[in-house]
Amino acid sequence: MVTYSPTIKKGYMLFFKKKKEDEKAEDVKPKLSMFEKLASGLHKTKANILNKLSSVFTSEKIDEDTLGKLEEALYTSDIGVKTTDKILEEVRKKIKSGEEIANIKDLIKDVMVSLIKTDERREIKIAEKPHVILVVGVNGNGKTTSIGKLAYYYKNKGYKVLIGAADTFRAAAIEQLEVWADRSGADFVKNKMNSDPAAVAYDSYKAGEARGADIVLIDTAGRLHNKVNLMNELEKISRVLKKLNPNAPHEVLLVLDATTGQNALSQAKQFGRTSGVTGIVLTKLDGTAKGGVTIAINQELDIPVKFIGIGEQKEDIQEFDPESFVRSIFE
């Protein structure tokens, strides 16, 4: 049995009490459509990008001076070098061919939509049960919250979900995740603090089998005393799971914090090289003007953005849809 100090317990009780109050308040507000919710969540990113592009949109003609402004605006909007270069290339092609550019704003939007890679695997396909999803990422990125939201998302899809608390090193991580499991209606497996994370992953899989779970979400440590140990721990968890099922984990989702901008891209590259990441959950888009990094990650890595977090409530997670994402910024 894990014990926590009265201060920690009181802090978490107040935190989740406020969340429940916020959810009750949300219930009396008019329900927004998925697109309206996305547009609302991305308002800071939209303001940032459109403000930087305003001088381009008001230009009477598209010349080298305008293209220079466009290049600078795009480079500083966190959308990435590859996307910026491709947009400029497309604009120059149209100019060279003599095609009139009636609305450069619509042109940029259309080029972005055409460039962003879609992930045909967004809809989960369960070939065998339990379908194991390993969730990785550094502390502070919103990993625990994202697991709770994912559990709620999959429960609403009709799946039986179990959460395994294999982040056994961070103070109060187990208790925090257990509260999220309760809120999302998921089963929960835990062990003592500082116990072997691979053992928790093993117990979670076996419990998922015994309880008929469709999906097992396994939390992992976001920080050990050095990066090598962290990656070794993740590899150990994967090895243990493969002894139970050679196809497990079926997915590895990396949680990234959009507020960190280009640093999120660096984290994705590092985890992608060492952890077999199959998809990205990008969090905190509602609290940042750096949401353009979503497009950068999509373009510069061979890892699809699968989910985006646009709020603090349990339902504030969406599958990433490129066209809706770009439209919400430019419309």
pTM for the whole structure = 0.84
Largest CA distance in the chain: 73
Query: 187-189 and 305-309 as β-strands: parallel, antiparallel, unpaired?
Result: unpaired
- Give residue 7's pLDDT: 59
* Sheet with 187-189: strands ordered across: 187-189, 161-165, 215-219, 131-136, 251-257, 279-283, 305-309, 317-319
Strand, coil or helix: what is 251?
strand
- Give residue 18's pLDDT: 61
Contact of 256 with 280, CB cutoff 8 Å:
yes
Nearest CA to 73 out of 61, 91, 55 is that of: 55
Q: Where are the alpha helices (DSSP H) in the chain?
A: 6-27, 34-41, 43-57, 64-75, 81-96, 104-115, 143-156, 173-184, 197-211, 227-244, 262-274, 293-300, 322-330
At residue 176, what is the residue type? Q
- Give residue 40's pLDDT: 85
Question: What angle separates helix 64-75 from helix 43-57, to the nearest 10 degrees?
Answer: 170
- Give residue 199's pLDDT: 96
Q: Evaluate the omega torsion of the peptide bond into residue 130 and state whether it is cis, within 30 degrees of 0.
A: yes
Q: Could you say which DSSP state residue 189 is in? A: E
Structure tokens at 265: 């891209």
CA dist 25 to 22, 30, 68, 254, 284, Å? 5, 11, 47, 31, 20
Q: Could you say which DSSP state residue 117 is in? A: P
Q: CA-to-CA distance for 22 and 323, rounded, in angstroms?
A: 30
Query: Domains of the chain by range and CATH?
Result: 38-115 (1.20.120.140), 131-330 (3.40.50.300)
Q: Mean pLDDT for each 10-residue chunk of the chain (331 residues)?
A: 54 60 54 76 90 85 86 87 87 78 81 75 80 93 94 96 93 89 96 93 98 97 72 91 96 92 84 84 89 85 87 89 87 83
